[in-house]
Amino acid sequence: MIVMRHGQSEWNLRMTQTGRDPGIADPHLTGAGHAQAEAAVDRLAHLPIRRIITSPYRRALQTATPLARALGITIEVNLGVREHKTYSCDVGSPASKIAAEWPHLDFAHVPEVWWPDHNETSSAVKKRARHFAAQMRAAADWDHILVVSHWGFLMALTGESFENGEWRKLAVTP
């Protein structure tokens, strides 16, 4: 399985510049973030990816879209790979609004308000990551899955920090 952190968002850019939460809910990618998403097409399109799984956050969907288009794959939206709620960027957009922006994707399983209303503990995120990993390990197509997610979830899943647009191939572990 390949895991990737979304490209740079407006929130990431402003937070880096000021060191303060800029108060942007469900931010869009910046120009640099879109460039990172396009670069992922060049780096990943030759791999045998058959499934792309993302969270419902815009930045993950925007990152996955160019590669999905290039490969002719429909993105699968999975609440299990969402970010933990710590900052303003972790407040999502209503499912109906996101579904209107990505009408070709299935949001039927996504509640209108799908992001947590409280800060998720690190142990809760790790538990969610372990559950997701177990589901993916059981999938026959493990080696053909790309997951586009977020710093906190990827840290819980792998124990490693990811920069915006960075990806890694994970080995199947027992």
- Under 8 Å between Cβ of 6 and 30: no
Q: Which domain holds residue 111?
A: 2-169
* Residue 132 included in any domain: yes
* Residue 174 included in any domain: no
* Residue 118 included in any domain: yes
Task: Check: pTM over 0.85? Answer yes or no.
Answer: yes
Per-chain mean pLDDT for the chain: 95
Instruction: Assign 117 a pLDDT band (cuts: 50, 70, 90).
Output: confident
- Under 8 Å between Cβ of 59 and 149: no
Segments of the chain assigned E as strands: 2-5, 51-54, 75-77, 145-149, 167-169
Residue 174 has pLDDT above 80, yes or no: no
79-105 tens-digit pLDDT: 999 999 899 999 999 999 999 999 999
Total of domains in the chain? 1
| Interatomic CA distance for residues 120 and 97, integer angstroms | 24
* Residue 63 included in any domain: yes
